[in-house]
Chains A and B, each alone.
Chain A
């Protein structure tokens, strides 16, 4: 695991001390809210509907048991005993009080964590494949590069007042688990003549104008990565529209100017910048890489695992659904579902955090990950320990076997918390998950990703859900619009709008009709929802969603 250097520690301490006095000055009136707001946002502190919200970065989603335990402590001491893990590999606390925030940040600093650049028009928390360093199909662990980017972008003097927020994601495998095509910059590791480097994708994003990113450079060697990124961000920094915040993201800049012009500008800037890095970044990278060395994998017999797997149905279902192939055959990657039907997607109680911290320390080489799908990952578990891990998770209500299935829903906080929301998303996720849980149908339905956002900002990734749900306010009533055929992986696609929206009462039956249609349309069980959709198109699903009889007058026109 990467350890903070003295520089990192001092920097975080200093920032916290600074913010502590800023909070004091706000409370005593020396700072107005207009002056204070940008300062609190720089430190991850938002105002939501019922309270403040503190967003804490979990860089590239990696944390250890001690850090998880500290999050549990913070949740209990200063919040309401839980935390919400988000699609950007952050954790959000929904109830902090302003006078406590500096203490919370210090407590985070004690375990090498912070909330810097989790908000505001800066380069945000760098995200990465949650299976990084463990996946069987990986070329190389992308996190060393992610850490390099984090260090470069944190407090970068030129990039503190960008036209808008800027998000970077990395993936080290052909299978894209980091949604690189829906980020301002996505970096996909590729190999050329035996050399590992990155395909650079630019201008992806969701929100009100969803765009799939475009390839700006097919291959950039690691030695040129930072100057190339700096070239992209600085070209956009000058060109990006500061006159209209809805047009400020780089996706619009790329769209308005065209990828070829942007590429030419970036290459020109890159030619100027390239030499200024003088290899310091490469020395740093080598140093960082040592922090991401793989753990000392154990060799142990697998007989007990094989027996348990053969004889225990519940365990087998969980292993089949919630584990993925590890690059070491004797190991597995475990996904801990935070999607127990009826619970809030992405939430974990302090008690559950502690259980996960213990399991991670005891059976997982002290490594945990947050996935953008709002689950937690134990990247390195020896198969002989899976039985014990499963049992411990069962005891904490964390053993739901539903990864990738219909109840494994991404949902943003929506109108239950978010000040920007136009409708709720959490209760919709709860209702859908419960509905299919009662039917015991989800294993038969197979892979199906439902993603829900409570407004057009798309924090819940609805555009790239196989089934996307967007909550809107239609004349003072919550209304839910469905998109179909979205895809978050290397074959990324923005979903198609199905038609008029549904009320909160109509949405579960509507999803049920879609699923029933899929089950009738699929060739067989091996054809997942998305494949069927790609084969047959929108039409038959539209018929299922809006049968003539239920149509008249019920679904209000969108």
Chain B
């Protein structure tokens, strides 16, 4: 039996700043995982990855990351993605810092 598809988001790093970004439904890159487009099947995931990869003037290192859909938006399934959406644990830097300044 084929394994059930795990939901995905397209993620990358911003070309200029390096900050973690996610692809939205409207083909923009957001800094917030909660605003990312959740991809629910293999074919869509592939197509959206290809679309995102073309945005070479904005991003680098594009790939698909596993997520779980939740009320508040997609949640990471792996701790690596948890760090990417939050920032390092030794300093209050990265996204967590920016979130506070919003």
Contacts and interface: CB of A to CB of B under 8 A. Distances in A.
Interface of A: 26-29, 32-33, 47-52, 80, 94-95, 97-99, 344, 415-417, 419, 421, 424, 426-427, 430, 473, 476-478
A45 B15 CA distance: 13
B18 interface: yes
Contacts of A473: 80
Contacts of B93: 50, 80, 94-95
Nearest to B82: A415
B90 A476 contact: no
29 contacts: A27-B57, A47-B18, A47-B60, A48-B18, A50-B18, A50-B19, A50-B83, A50-B84, A50-B87, A51-B13, A51-B19, A52-B18, A80-B91, A80-B93, A97-B17, A98-B16, A98-B17, A344-B90, A344-B91, A415-B79, A416-B88, A416-B89, A417-B88, A424-B83, A426-B89, A476-B77, A476-B78, A477-B79, A478-B79
Interface residues of B, number: 25
A427 B89 contact: yes
Query: 7 closest Cβ contacts across the A-B interface?
Result: A51-B18, A416-B88, A52-B18, A50-B94, A426-B90, A344-B90, A97-B17
Contacts of B77: 476
A29 B87 contact: no
B56 interface: yes
B20 interface: yes
A433 B90 CA distance: 14
Interface string B14-35: 0111111000000000000000
Q: Which of B57, B80, B87, B90 has the most CB of A within 10 A?
A: B90
Contacts of B87: 50
What DSSP secondary structure best describes chain B's contact surface? loop
B93 to A, nearest CB: 6
B61 interface: yes
Contacts of A477: 79
Contact of A33 (B56, B89, B94): B56
Given A50-B94, A416-B88, A426-B89, A98 B83 contact: no
A29 B56 contact: yes
Interface string B46-75: 000000000011001100000000000000
Given A29-B57, A98-B18, A426-B90, A49 B78 contact: no
B63 to A, nearest CB: 11
Given A29-B56, A416-B83, A424-B89, 15 more contacts: A47-B60, A47-B61, A49-B80, A49-B83, A50-B18, A50-B19, A50-B94, A51-B19, A97-B16, A344-B90, A416-B88, A426-B88, A427-B89, A430-B90, A477-B79
